[in-house]
Amino acid sequence: MDQQQLIELAFTAADNAYAPYSNYKVGACVLCKDGNHFLGANIENASFGATNCAERSAIFTAYSYGYRKEDIEALCIVSYGKKLAAPCGICRQVLCELLDHKTPIILSNKENTLVTNIDELLPMQFTDEDLG
């Protein structure tokens, strides 16, 4: 699957977002090395704090199907915003644990695309190594 197809799949997830409070729809797609993929969308809640972001939805689903970081080729996160939707702080911490640190994270809106990774997005990481 090429990058454009991955972006389009992530936009199909964004279209399924449940975002009645922010009206800000985000989609994500985890592409696995065996060719399988898993979509995620942001799912909001009236209590706000119970909201799940798109990238967490997608990567939790991949893990639920038994995939692990070494099985993941790329993660794509898309939104319709003018700015690229960079993962929030909670998502960066989750991705730090569940993605290899050099795995491409592709951010895209309809105008721009940027490829990054968790080492760039989250410096001075707190990980399991800190727990001793």
Q: Which residues bind ligand THU (CB under 6 A)?
A: 19, 22, 24, 26, 42, 44, 51, 53-55, 77, 85, 87-88, 91
CB of 9 to ligand THU, least distance (A): 16
Give, as one character, the DSSP assignment of residue 129: G
How far apart (Å, rounded) are the C-alpha atoms in residues 61 and 122? Answer: 22
Is 44 catalytic? The answer is: no
Three-state secondary-structure class, residue 71: helix
CB of 126 to ligand THU, least distance (A): 19
- Residue closer to ligand THU, measured from CB, 33 or 118: 118
Sign of the CA dihedral with 90 first, then 93, 96, and 102 last? positive
Residue 32 tokens, joined: 């696995």
CB of 70 to ligand THU, least distance (A): 24
